[in-house]
């Protein structure tokens, strides 16, 4: 009884915040580019054991450029998949034979397995059974 009262009083969590992933990748890539330019300027004064930083910046810049290519494609692919699941697919089915829709419903449905373990949504340190 006490547990249901606690659950009813707990406010619902806020929705997750969406970040502008492309902007984040742009800023980080620009940071690697600036660091590379600075290191190339002071390259002559760097000790021989510290010149690996130049290659670190090159790698960061390369990964950033790859991210600028990859992140928009990833987001468009996820949006298409979400639209297919929400819209029931092109042929009226959700995904392949309804598997995607069933998986989405299974994730949102609560489970009761008669277990005394703590769920990730419960308060840590408290049992789900009294």
The answer as to whether 113 is a domain residue is no
The answer as to whether 79 is a domain residue is yes
Give residue 9's pLDDT band: very low, low, confident or very high (50, 70, 90).
Answer: confident
Region of poorest pLDDT, from 1-5, 11-15, 83-87, 105-109? 105-109
Distance between CA 75 and CA 91 in Å, rounded? 23
CB contact at 8 A, 68 and 43: no
The answer as to whether 7 is a domain residue is no
pLDDT tens-digit readout, 20-39: 999 999 999 999 999 999 99
Least Cα distance to 29 among 53, 55, 65 occurs for 65
The answer as to whether 74 is a domain residue is yes
- Domain with 54, as residue range(s), is 20-106
The answer as to whether 122 is a domain residue is no
The answer as to whether 115 is a domain residue is no
Q: How many domains does one find in the chain? A: 1
Please give the backbone phi and psi of residue 79, each rounded to the nearest 5 degrees, phi first: -65, -40
Q: Give the pLDDT confidence score for residue 116 in this predicted structure.
A: 57
pLDDT tens-digit readout, 57-111: 999 999 999 999 999 999 999 999 999 998 875 544 444 444 444 444 545 555 5
The answer as to whether 28 is a domain residue is yes
The answer as to whether 95 is a domain residue is yes
């Amino acid at each position: 009884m006490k547990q249901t009262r606690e659950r009813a009083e707990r406010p619902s969590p806020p929705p997750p915040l969406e970040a502008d992933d492309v902007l984040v990748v742009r800023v980080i890539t620009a940071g690697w580019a600036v660091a590379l330019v600075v290191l190339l300027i002071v390259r002559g004064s760097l000790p021989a054991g510290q010149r690996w930083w130049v290659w670190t910046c090159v790698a960061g810049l390369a990964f950033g450029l790859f991210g600028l290519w990859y992140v928009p494609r990833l987001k468009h692919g996820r949006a298409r998949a979400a639209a297919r699941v929400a819209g029931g697919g092109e042929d009226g089915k959700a995904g392949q034979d309804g598997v995607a829709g069933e998986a989405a419903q299974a994730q949102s449905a609560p489970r009761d397995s008669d277990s005394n373990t703590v769920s990730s949504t419960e308060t840590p340190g408290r049992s789900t059974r009294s």
